[in-house]
Amino acid sequence: MKKLSNYLDNKKVILTILLIVSILTLLICSKNSPLYPYNDWVDGNAFFTMGKGMFNGKVPYKDLFEQKGPLLYLIYGIGYLISHDTFLGVYLLEVISYTIFGYFLFKIARTYLNQFYALLVSVLTLAIISGSISFVQGGSAEEFCLPFVASSVYFFIKIINENDFGKKYLLINGAIAGCVSLIKFNLLGLWFIWMALYFFKLISLKEIKKAFISCVYFLVGMFIPIFISILYFVINGALRDYYDVYITFNLTAYSTTIDLKTRILNMFSAIFQQMKYNRTIYILLCLGFVNCLTTKILKNIWINIFILLSFIFLMIGVYIGGLPFIYYFLCFEAYIIFGFIFVFSIVQNYLSSQTLAICILCGGMMFSVHYPLKSPNRGYMNIPQSAYAQYVFKDIIDKSKNKTLLNYDNLDGGFYTTCNIVPNVKYFMRQNVGYDRYPQIIDGQREAIKNKKIEFVVIREYRDTIGYRKNIPYLNDNYKEIKKFKQLYEGMDFTYYLYCLK
């Protein structure tokens, strides 16, 4: 065991192992990986379309309408530069992100465990998270925030344990918070508690002046990435669009009209429902909370309070709006590392047999292989591209000299991706909001059809919407149906129609 721990006491070895684990788990669990014929997840395709637009002269929110943060679009835009019509580039960026996430998980675990067990629990955490249903198809905003979550949790633990209240940690974690705010700002509850507890810790040490100065340094760090984004939108004459869509739209369009008491009840209901989807995650989170309620392992009360409150404030930011989408829970799953620390601290302190360590290693390896293989995405691995409307329609659209397309009244179905088309219409897709809340989307799409701004229109019908294409204003006057294709998507039978300009 000692020889193994000494071998693992090498940053390059740890990073190499975590890189290999990330490559393998994401190959199986992410539909962005080359093992899958296509990732038809609407969110991923929307991010890809926005990122592609950024690198082709389009300005988010001004020229193309979607409501996530600009940093997420930049990430997907880099993925687009690697591969224009597949998600290979996004997969490679996922691997990098997941490796960094794993490394900070290791750093957290290493605070309480030896190298061997710290690496083992990091690998197990990566495997469980990637195989969970909250991972969805891969490439969510929450997934790309995981390294930020783990790194800031680690930095807080390090600062408190070492009493190192240096300015560099404030600037770094402020910048991390700024980056998260440019991906999905409702995740910022964790960083609010990070800075609040940092502040009160200094107050408890009677460092009052330093406490207030620390807030300034944190905010300066946070402002740096935000200022860069503001500068980009100012240069492109889109600052008002940036504010109206990313801030105002997100704060108003998705919130439900219920009273505060109901919101709080729904919030706790949502979090417990999500936890119960995966019993292993549920148990590990509960063990992690037990770990925080004692000081036997996590011996500093400030760290215990931080872990509990950061989870709670993250929960408030994510679920107080009242909409519990399954992928919302992904960032919370990072906290299972504390459940593993609880279990393996007991193993490390009371069961030190080398034979037992080997058995635990073998069991851990089997466990880390088992969970990715349970991924709900695996069933899509062997589906041929010919079973996807996105590729069937691509063969038709690619023959046209004027490749312009509108994904009408539906979330981004991936047709822009497979056909490598940059939308020429601002409202290139529908959002998850009703017409009464934001009529500009459908009105903008109908205006594009009326004025024949696009050559191709894709319509999707399902159950209650069957036949509604016949009543879309101006569609049948200006366009003709040229292809119909039935496709299974997430257990639902969709029928796609391709219309071409007459």
Residue 500: CB atoms within 10 A of its CB come to 15
Q: Among the listed ranges 244-248, 319-323, 460-464, which one has the minimum average pLDDT value? A: 319-323
Q: Tokens at residue 53, please?
A: 């637009």
Q: Among the listed ranges 56-60, 145-149, 282-286, which one has the minimum average pLDDT value? A: 282-286
Do residues 361 and 391 both lie within one domain? no
3-state secondary structure of 437: coil
* Sequence letter at residue 189: G
Helices vs. strands in the chain: H and E counts, helices first: 21, 4
Q: Output phi, psi for 373, to 5 deg.
A: -70, -15
Domain count, the chain: 2
The confidence score (pLDDT) of residue 202 equals: 94
What is the length of the chain?
A: 502
Do residues 199 and 309 both lie within one domain? yes
The whole-number average pLDDT for the span 386-400 is: 96
d(CA 11, CA 18): 11
Which of 379, 402, 431 is at the close of a domain?
379
Which of 317, 347, 379 is at the close of a domain?
379
The confidence score (pLDDT) of residue 97 equals: 98
Do residues 312 and 458 both lie within one domain? no
Q: What mean pLDDT value characterizes the chain?
A: 92
Instruction: Report the Cα–Cα distance between both ends of the chain, in Å, rounded.
Output: 73
Domain annotation covers residue 101: yes
d(CA 154, CA 105): 8
Domain annotation covers residue 53: no
The confidence score (pLDDT) of residue 79 equals: 98
Measuring CA to CA, which residue among 164, 161, 158, 179 is closest to residue 214? 164
| pTM assigned to the model | 0.94
The whole-number average pLDDT for the span 123-141 is: 95
The whole-number average pLDDT for the span 86-107 is: 98
Binning pLDDT at 50, 70 and 90, where does residue 136 land?
Answer: very high
Which of 379, 412, 442 is at the close of a domain?
379
- Of the chain, the percentage scoring pLDDT greater than 90 comes to 74
**CATH number of the domain encompassing residue 475:** 3.40.190
The confidence score (pLDDT) of residue 191 equals: 98
Binning pLDDT at 50, 70 and 90, where does residue 93 land?
Answer: very high
d(CA 41, CA 406): 18
Binning pLDDT at 50, 70 and 90, where does residue 269 land?
Answer: confident
Calculate the CA 241 to chain-centre distance. 23
* Domain housing 406: 385-501
Domain annotation covers residue 55: no
The confidence score (pLDDT) of residue 357 equals: 67
Looking at residue 244, what DSSP letter applies? I
Do residues 413 and 303 both lie within one domain? no
Do residues 364 and 391 both lie within one domain? no
Domain annotation covers residue 313: yes
